[in-house]
Structure 1
């Protein structure tokens, strides 16, 4: 079972309207993908409304595991035993790099995943992200966009920031 702190952080993210994947925590892992997988599994057990993947999207064993974790988190099933990671696996994970879940690594993974999505899906995700960011977060993002883009990007970023301010005020 995820620890109390993880659950509290996930509940806070949920109250703020953040996406289920944001509600998942960071762990020592071999890759960003693995860190995300561990976080999603913990989040499901903690009660985050994150349905398991559809058939054919992932390995059947992964889907079954996600389904089990989801049912436990939603209170539809009582776990038979406490989920236990063997000592050997725990020790291996302890020696894995912590930077697998660094901002850079997770960003690279997110970009790879986004590249497999359609423009419409990416746009919808960006709209939701803007809604849950809050005013100060939006203006910080706009400042960063202006700083990191070229001259044409700055005009576009300024236009979007003004549009967003008008939309949210």
Structure 2
């Protein structure tokens, strides 16, 4: 009796689509083509600045220009409180809107935010809670 060697591949038939390749390979090929096409033309303005678009057009609230770039946590908190109480573009309470905008900025900066800047913004959160009479 002869022993037959088998390859490591399974004996199941591979489902093939129109392109004649298994679905996983077609997906990888399409993904690679898309990456090559976008690398040639570069990212468009809308792809680069979607968070800016959200800040400008969402119903979050109207805030002072460059408020998050000031170095003082107290001034950031006071400005956010002032903006949130005066804004007509908010859906929630003034406190919710102000805290939401501060969190949005912190989250969008992500790992690019330096530690001292992150600490200042975290302190601004505490100051904002105090200004609205909320428990820390």
* TM-score, normalization by structure 1: 0.25
* TM-score, normalization by structure 2: 0.30
Highest Rg: 1 or 2? 2
Higher relative helix content: 1
